[in-house]
Amino acid sequence: MSDKYKSMTELEASTIENKDWEIETRDVNSQVIITAIHGGGIEPGTTEIADLTAQKGEYDYFSFKGTKSKENEALHVTSRNYDQSTLMKMIKNKTHAVAIHGCGGDGNIVYIGGKDRKLINTMTKQFEELDIRVEQAPSHISGAHDDNIINCCKTGEGVQLELTPELRKMCFINQKYNKKSREDKQNWSQFMDDFSTAIVNAIQDN
């Protein structure tokens, strides 16, 4: 499905902040940033995973959250056209950048991509220790293009994690990722805790 908007500039000009979407950020002066650019109702569960990971690692955090009552997928702008001004400023001086995305597919799989080969390898080992299936991301979600926002960090090399619906639902005790389930921190599962810790451990090993 092609994006409704060709860029974040176009999306922001055509929609209403704090009605259709909102931006959450934390700047803790870290060299690492964790992002969920299709958060809230766009790719459910990605905001919460990114938020917890950033908290655990004391990393900078950015999430663009779809907050419409329905059809949040219309707020999806592909990573290569992601000219969101706040994130572009935040990411440019970071040595490590990690994007949490949601994708389709069956099974609990992480499709891993991006240009930071060293961190990709370390992260893969961490996930495999949790018995999570890790596969190289196919070309359409590879995260390997220079203009992908996650590679717009200082090193020009970030990591993009694409998580299947089943894997994202495992992050919630009731195995659901509707708004009420996602935003209730009491419903955040041990698996989400372990998964976010694995990301932090991989970053610290680099």
Structural domains present in the chain:
8-205 (3.40.630.100)
The 10s digit of each residue's pLDDT in 11-21 is 999 999 999 99
In the predicted model, what is the mean pLDDT of the chain?
97
Is pLDDT above 90 for 55? yes
Q: What is the pLDDT of residue 131?
A: 94
The 10s digit of each residue's pLDDT in 128-162 is 999 999 999 999 999 999 999 999 999 999 999 99
Q: By percentage, how much of the chain surpasses pLDDT 70?
A: 100
Enter the pTM of the model: 0.97
Q: What is the pLDDT of residue 47?
A: 98
Q: What is the pLDDT of residue 191?
A: 98
Q: How many angstroms separate the CA atoms of 171 and 175, rounded?
A: 7
Residue 115: strand, helix, or coil: coil
